[in-house]
Amino acid sequence: MSQAVFEKLVALFDAEQARYRVMTHAPVRTSEEAASVRGTTLSQGARAMVCRVKHSSKQRTYVLAVLPANRQLDFVKVAAAVGGKKVSLATPEEAQALTDCEMGAVPPVSFHPELLLIVDPGLASRHDEISFNAGLRERSIIIATEDYLRIVAPRLETVV
Protein backbone atom coordinates (compact mmCIF):
# COMPACT_ATOMS: atom_id res chain seq x y z
CA MET A 1 0.00 0.00 0.00
CA SER A 2 1.62 3.16 -1.14
CA GLN A 3 0.23 6.53 -0.31
CA ALA A 4 3.57 7.94 -1.50
CA VAL A 5 3.06 6.57 -5.02
CA PHE A 6 -0.46 7.97 -5.10
CA GLU A 7 0.87 11.39 -4.09
CA LYS A 8 3.62 11.21 -6.76
CA LEU A 9 1.02 10.42 -9.43
CA VAL A 10 -1.22 13.32 -8.41
CA ALA A 11 1.75 15.71 -8.27
CA LEU A 12 2.96 14.57 -11.71
CA PHE A 13 -0.46 14.84 -13.33
CA ASP A 14 -1.15 18.21 -11.71
CA ALA A 15 2.24 19.60 -12.78
CA GLU A 16 1.58 18.47 -16.36
CA GLN A 17 -2.02 19.77 -16.34
CA ALA A 18 -3.53 16.39 -17.09
CA ARG A 19 -7.26 15.87 -17.36
CA TYR A 20 -7.90 13.25 -14.70
CA ARG A 21 -9.99 12.41 -11.67
CA VAL A 22 -9.38 10.38 -8.54
CA MET A 23 -11.85 7.85 -7.20
CA THR A 24 -11.86 6.38 -3.72
CA HIS A 25 -13.71 3.07 -3.44
CA ALA A 26 -13.73 -0.25 -1.62
CA PRO A 27 -10.44 -2.14 -2.15
CA VAL A 28 -10.46 -4.17 -5.37
CA ARG A 29 -8.57 -7.33 -6.18
CA THR A 30 -9.43 -8.00 -9.82
CA SER A 31 -9.67 -5.94 -12.98
CA GLU A 32 -13.34 -6.86 -13.22
CA GLU A 33 -14.04 -5.53 -9.72
CA ALA A 34 -12.12 -2.36 -10.52
CA ALA A 35 -14.08 -1.69 -13.72
CA SER A 36 -17.32 -2.24 -11.86
CA VAL A 37 -16.57 0.20 -9.02
CA ARG A 38 -15.15 2.79 -11.45
CA GLY A 39 -18.09 2.56 -13.85
CA THR A 40 -15.70 1.94 -16.75
CA THR A 41 -15.31 -0.86 -19.26
CA LEU A 42 -12.81 -3.62 -18.62
CA SER A 43 -10.84 -2.66 -21.76
CA GLN A 44 -10.28 0.87 -20.33
CA GLY A 45 -8.38 -0.60 -17.41
CA ALA A 46 -4.61 -0.32 -17.61
CA ARG A 47 -3.21 -3.54 -16.14
CA ALA A 48 0.41 -2.98 -15.10
CA MET A 49 2.50 -6.11 -14.73
CA VAL A 50 6.07 -6.17 -13.45
CA CYS A 51 8.09 -8.64 -15.51
CA ARG A 52 11.60 -10.02 -15.25
CA VAL A 53 13.23 -10.50 -18.66
CA LYS A 54 16.24 -12.78 -18.86
CA HIS A 55 18.79 -11.93 -21.54
CA SER A 56 21.58 -14.27 -20.35
CA SER A 57 22.54 -16.05 -17.15
CA LYS A 58 23.79 -12.77 -15.70
CA GLN A 59 21.74 -10.07 -17.45
CA ARG A 60 18.14 -9.19 -16.64
CA THR A 61 15.82 -6.32 -17.45
CA TYR A 62 12.71 -5.39 -15.51
CA VAL A 63 9.73 -4.27 -17.55
CA LEU A 64 6.46 -2.69 -16.49
CA ALA A 65 4.18 -4.07 -19.20
CA VAL A 66 0.89 -2.19 -19.46
CA LEU A 67 -2.02 -3.70 -21.36
CA PRO A 68 -5.80 -3.46 -21.55
CA ALA A 69 -7.29 -5.28 -18.57
CA ASN A 70 -9.43 -7.46 -20.83
CA ARG A 71 -6.36 -8.96 -22.52
CA GLN A 72 -3.66 -11.42 -21.45
CA LEU A 73 0.05 -10.67 -21.43
CA ASP A 74 2.07 -12.53 -24.05
CA PHE A 75 5.47 -13.28 -22.50
CA VAL A 76 7.03 -14.09 -25.89
CA LYS A 77 6.09 -10.63 -27.19
CA VAL A 78 7.48 -8.95 -24.07
CA ALA A 79 10.78 -10.81 -24.55
CA ALA A 80 10.91 -9.82 -28.23
CA ALA A 81 10.19 -6.17 -27.39
CA VAL A 82 13.34 -5.90 -25.27
CA GLY A 83 15.57 -8.47 -26.94
CA GLY A 84 15.24 -11.01 -24.15
CA LYS A 85 15.08 -14.77 -24.13
CA LYS A 86 12.65 -15.60 -21.34
CA VAL A 87 10.06 -13.62 -19.36
CA SER A 88 8.38 -14.28 -16.07
CA LEU A 89 6.42 -12.20 -13.64
CA ALA A 90 8.57 -10.53 -11.02
CA THR A 91 8.27 -11.90 -7.52
CA PRO A 92 6.08 -9.89 -5.14
CA GLU A 93 9.28 -8.73 -3.42
CA GLU A 94 10.85 -7.57 -6.69
CA ALA A 95 7.65 -5.79 -7.72
CA GLN A 96 7.47 -4.06 -4.33
CA ALA A 97 11.12 -2.94 -4.55
CA LEU A 98 10.65 -1.54 -8.07
CA THR A 99 7.25 0.09 -7.63
CA ASP A 100 6.75 0.66 -3.90
CA CYS A 101 3.35 -1.00 -4.38
CA GLU A 102 1.81 -4.34 -3.70
CA MET A 103 0.92 -6.36 -6.78
CA GLY A 104 -2.51 -5.34 -8.01
CA ALA A 105 -2.04 -1.71 -6.99
CA VAL A 106 0.82 -0.92 -9.39
CA PRO A 107 -0.01 2.07 -11.62
CA PRO A 108 1.05 2.18 -15.29
CA VAL A 109 3.81 4.67 -14.50
CA SER A 110 7.44 3.86 -13.67
CA PHE A 111 9.19 5.99 -11.09
CA HIS A 112 12.18 3.60 -10.94
CA PRO A 113 15.11 3.98 -13.36
CA GLU A 114 15.52 0.20 -13.69
CA LEU A 115 11.87 -0.42 -14.61
CA LEU A 116 11.28 0.02 -18.35
CA LEU A 117 7.72 1.14 -19.19
CA ILE A 118 6.11 -0.55 -22.20
CA VAL A 119 2.49 0.10 -23.15
CA ASP A 120 0.50 -1.99 -25.59
CA PRO A 121 -0.81 0.15 -28.46
CA GLY A 122 -4.27 -1.39 -27.96
CA LEU A 123 -4.59 0.43 -24.65
CA ALA A 124 -3.32 3.66 -26.14
CA SER A 125 -5.78 3.76 -29.04
CA ARG A 126 -9.13 2.32 -27.97
CA HIS A 127 -10.56 4.78 -25.45
CA ASP A 128 -10.44 8.50 -24.72
CA GLU A 129 -9.77 7.67 -21.05
CA ILE A 130 -7.94 4.90 -19.24
CA SER A 131 -8.26 3.89 -15.60
CA PHE A 132 -5.94 2.24 -13.11
CA ASN A 133 -5.15 1.59 -9.47
CA ALA A 134 -3.10 4.48 -8.18
CA GLY A 135 -0.67 2.80 -5.79
CA LEU A 136 -3.51 1.69 -3.52
CA ARG A 137 -6.23 -0.89 -4.09
CA GLU A 138 -8.85 1.61 -2.93
CA ARG A 139 -7.78 4.54 -5.12
CA SER A 140 -8.15 4.80 -8.87
CA ILE A 141 -7.26 7.41 -11.42
CA ILE A 142 -9.16 7.92 -14.63
CA ILE A 143 -7.10 10.01 -17.04
CA ALA A 144 -7.39 11.24 -20.61
CA THR A 145 -5.42 8.73 -22.68
CA GLU A 146 -3.64 11.42 -24.67
CA ASP A 147 -2.50 13.13 -21.44
CA TYR A 148 -1.25 9.83 -20.01
CA LEU A 149 0.77 9.13 -23.17
CA ARG A 150 2.14 12.68 -23.31
CA ILE A 151 3.23 12.69 -19.68
CA VAL A 152 4.73 9.22 -19.24
CA ALA A 153 6.03 8.91 -22.83
CA PRO A 154 6.01 5.10 -22.82
CA ARG A 155 7.56 2.84 -25.37
CA LEU A 156 4.67 1.40 -27.42
CA GLU A 157 5.09 -2.33 -28.06
CA THR A 158 2.58 -5.10 -28.67
CA VAL A 159 2.53 -7.26 -25.53
CA VAL A 160 -0.82 -9.07 -25.97
How far apart, in whole angstroms, are the C-alpha atoms of residue 56 and residue 59? 5
How many domains does one find in the chain?
A: 1
Q: How far is CA 60 from CA 36, 56, 69, 75, in A?
A: 36, 7, 26, 15
Range of the domain at 53: 3-156
Give the torsion sign (CA, 112, 13, 141, 23).
positive
Cα–Cα nearest to 109, from 158, 157, 159, 48 = 48
- pTM of the predicted protein model: 0.95
The CATH number of the domain where 8 resides is what?
3.90.960.10
Does 16 score more than 80 pLDDT? Answer: yes
Tell me what pLDDT residue 1 has: 57
Question: Rounded to 5 degrees, what are φ and ψ at 102?
Answer: -80, 155
Task: Compute the mean pLDDT over every residue in the chain, rounded to the nearest whole number.
Answer: 95
Beta carbons within 10 angstroms of residue 94's beta carbon: 16
Question: Rounded to 5 degrees, what are φ and ψ at 16?
Answer: -95, 10
The C-alpha angle with vertex 81 and arms to 77 and 84, in degrees rounded to 5, equals: 90
Tell me what pLDDT residue 124 has: 84
Tell me what pLDDT residue 2 has: 85
Segment 10-31 shows an average pLDDT of: 95
